[in-house]
Amino acid sequence: MKQDNLPKILVLGTGGTVTGTAPNEVSTARYEAGRLALIDLLAGVPALLQYAQLQVETLASIDSKDMHFPLWMQLAERITYAQHDQRVDGVVVLHGSDTLEETAYFLELVLSLAKPLVLVGAMRPSTALSADGPLNLLHAVRLAATPQAQGQGPLVVINQQIFAAREVTKVSAYAIDAFVSPGQGPLARVLDERIYWLRRRYDIPSGPPAVVHLTDVPVDQPWPWVEILTHGVGADARALQALCQSGVNGIVLAGTGLGTLSATVLAGVDAARKAGVAVVRASRCLLGPVLHDIGNDDTQLGMLAAGDLSPQKARVLLLIGLRKGLDQEGLTRLFDQHALLAHLP
């Protein structure tokens, strides 16, 4: 196909290992993220031009541990603009792998997508022998140029697999097959020239997700402070108390098993709720769900159950709910809709 007729893909860079560089080609752990110019990464993958016309913008060059709320908003606004831009058919976001799942879920919650959106990262820096970034990037661009990528929310492509934003999580600190969708598996696999679709993204039984429009929230409103606390043997309530005394707005408790919490921690939850802090109960297990009023009495304490959301995804949902200014009733509705299986029928 002539270049002019190929889909037009906007590539947005935020940094990460995919544009990381190391002092030598054997280093895959000791490197600096976001050091290679995006254009140089793209220049190393000429095959991209067989699949798309590219427009390239670097929004940031950071390690994704440093991803921050203003950059989230900038990214969301740029992608929103691209939805109305006839010169763009799909968007690819390059992102560090460490917090990629959080950004992907944030974008799912705040955007109404009419065009494919694909997030992509890499586990090995661009200078490594067998760097995985170039192939991941090629797959991301091809996916963003594919009609089947539409209507599935933000997609994540890495290591020849395609995942739904809501389901995906990083499970390895170094391996190139670092991402999984626990209990669900990928949506698709990429092999040579073909994308093999295995299933569509999850469907929320009660209908489509309640999209939180960006315009609902005043730009200058500060972001809430939400932390995750992990429960374990001998956990006590002092961490909860310290956070409450310091002005935290929300806490996600990564409980044991079904999201259970010891009596001591529950006493801390009671105090936190009385101080007006929103509390979500998730599980430190990779596979949920945490069900409302099962394991602990959520109704009595005013806790929200995370359903099948991981603690980090439950935190993103709570951040957005609090930023929107939702009260306990509004938060309950938000979690009812997004935290699947949180309520047994």
Residues tagged active-site = 17
Please choose, from the candidates 328, 331, 255, the residue with its C-alpha nearest in 3D space to the C-alpha of residue 291.
255
The helix/strand/coil state of 58 is strand
In sequence order, which ranges of the chain are alpha helices (DSSP H)?
Answer: 38-43, 69-83, 100-110, 133-144, 238-245, 263-274, 298-301, 311-323, 328-338
CA–CA separation, 291 and 80 (whole Å)? 34
Residue 63 within binding range of ligand ASP, rule CB under 6 A: yes
Q: Which of 287, 273, 275, 286 is nearest to 332 (CA)?
A: 273
Q: How many residues bind ligand ASP (CB under 6 A)?
A: 11
Measured in degrees and rounded to the nearest 5, phi and psi for residue 119 equal -105, 140
Residue 121 binding ligand ASP, by CB under 6 A: yes
Identified binder of ligand ASP from the candidate list 123, 168, 243, 340, rule CB under 6 A: 123
Tell me the closest approach of the beta carbon of residue 182 to ligand ASP, in angstroms: 19
CA distance 324 to 312: 19
Is the preceding omega at residue 125 within 30 degrees of 0, hence cis? no
Task: Please report how close the Cβ of residue 295 comes to ligand ASP at its closest, in angstroms.
Answer: 33
Instruction: Name the minimum Å distance from CB 23 to ligand ASP.
Output: 16
Give the range of 78-86, 93-101, 133-141, 323-331 binding ligand ASP by CB under 6 A.
93-101
Tally Cβ neighbours within 10 Å of residue 345.
Answer: 4
User: CA triplet 160, 161, 164: central angle to 5 degrees?
Assistant: 150
Stretch binding ligand ASP (CB under 6 A), from 57-65, 150-158, 232-240, 255-263: 57-65
Angstrom CA distances, 119 to 115, 274, 345, stand at: 13, 40, 34
Footprint (CB under 6 A) of ligand ASP, residues 4-33: 16-17, 33
Contact 188, 197 (CB under 8 A): yes
Of 159 and 337, the one with the shorter C-beta distance to ligand ASP is 159
Interface with ligand ASP (CB under 6 A), residue from 89, 98, 101, 308: 98
Nearer to ligand ASP, 201 or 313 (CB): 313
Strand 53-62 vs strand 179-180: parallel, antiparallel, or unpaired?
unpaired
Residues 182-211, one symbol each (x = binds ligand ASP by CB under 6 A, - = not), give ------------------------------
Region from 91-99, 148-156, 205-213, 254-262 binding ligand ASP, contact rule CB under 6 A: 91-99
Q: Which stretch binds ligand ASP (CB under 6 A): 60-68, 81-89, 202-210, 300-308?
A: 60-68
> Shortest gap between Cβ of 61 and ligand ASP (angstroms)?
10
156/248 with CB nearer ligand ASP: 156
- Applying CB under 6 A, the residues found at the interface with ligand ASP are 16-17, 33, 63-65, 96-98, 121, 123
